[in-house]
Amino acid sequence: MANYVYNAIRFKEKDKEKFPQYLEQGNFDFNKLAKMPKEFEEMGGDHGEVEGIAKEWKDFARDVKITPANVDEYVEKFRNEVRENPEKYPESSKTVNLEIKENDWGGISVPDFQYQMYREIGKVKYGFESWLDWRSVNWGTTSEAWETKISDEGLSFITAWDAPLPIFEKIAEFNPDIWFRVKYYDEALGVKQ
């Protein structure tokens, strides 16, 4: 089970109007400060490399320099190649034609082929293989905020594992004219300021 981190941002009352822009459906939305790439949003749960598909992709792309500008094009070419030659790509062909589905509990189920292609695109375009890695660096935590409360004095919310230090830095970067103070309490480590 994750340790909870209780976060509080204190600001001057005159600066209160700056903070609601970072809320979505009542919760602090980190995407409004550091937008997670769509490939990671659509990826579903992170379960690591799908080795057979990763090897087939590597074989397919071995004579091509894959770049951020062409990775989407080559993923589509690979998808078509797998569909036309399933015997050449046996691991990829098992799930290449499956669709992303919503689970009973509201999550999504991403077929292994699409999941691995999101990982490949993520490596090339963003330098990360999954939403978990991306969030850890860009948000400072793997979880989104929950139990957000806003008052005249500040904003408070909970995250799992870590305080979102890069998010606090983004607030300062986007709002250089306001004063705010951050305090967080990690139930495993104690209070930080």
Contact 5, 159 (CB under 8 A): yes
Contact 56, 92 (CB under 8 A): yes
- Confidence class for position 66, pLDDT limits 50, 70, 90: very high
Average pLDDT over residues 17-36: 92
- Confidence class for position 41, pLDDT limits 50, 70, 90: confident
For the chain, what percent of residues have pLDDT higher than 70? 95
Say if residue 14's pLDDT is above 90.
Answer: no
Say if residue 98's pLDDT is above 70.
Answer: yes
pLDDT digits 0-9 by tens, 151-180: 888 999 999 989 999 999 999 999 899 889
Q: What is the pLDDT of residue 126?
A: 96
What's the residue count for the chain? 193
Q: What is the pLDDT of residue 188?
A: 72
Nearest by Cα to 54 from 19, 92, 16, 86: 92
Residue 48: exposed, middle, or buried by beta-carbon count in 10 A (0-12, 13-18, 19+)? exposed
Q: Give the 3-state secondary structure of residue 4.
A: strand
Question: What's the order of all strands across the beta sheet hosting 190-192?
Answer: 146-150, 154-160, 4-11, 180-186, 190-192
Measured at the alpha carbon of residue 27, what is the angle toward residues 135 and 190, in degrees to the nearest 5?
Answer: 65
Say if residue 58's pLDDT is above 60.
Answer: yes
The more confidently predicted of residues 20 and 100 is 20
Average pLDDT over residues 17-38: 92
C-alpha distance across the termini of the chain, in Å: 24
The more confidently predicted of residues 189 and 86 is 86
Average pLDDT over residues 88-101: 92
Q: What is the pLDDT of residue 190?
A: 61
- Confidence class for position 78, pLDDT limits 50, 70, 90: very high
Nearest by Cα to 28 from 117, 158, 128: 158
Q: What is the pLDDT of residue 15?
A: 86
Average pLDDT over residues 109-126: 93
Contacts of 176 (CB under 8 A, 6+ apart): none
In the block, tokens 């082929």 appear at 113
Q: What is the pLDDT of residue 108?
A: 73
The CA distance from 182 to 127, in Å, is 29
- Confidence class for position 106, pLDDT limits 50, 70, 90: low
Contacts of 92 (CB under 8 A, 6+ apart): 52, 53, 56, 57, 78, 82, 113
Regarding pTM above 0.85, the answer is no
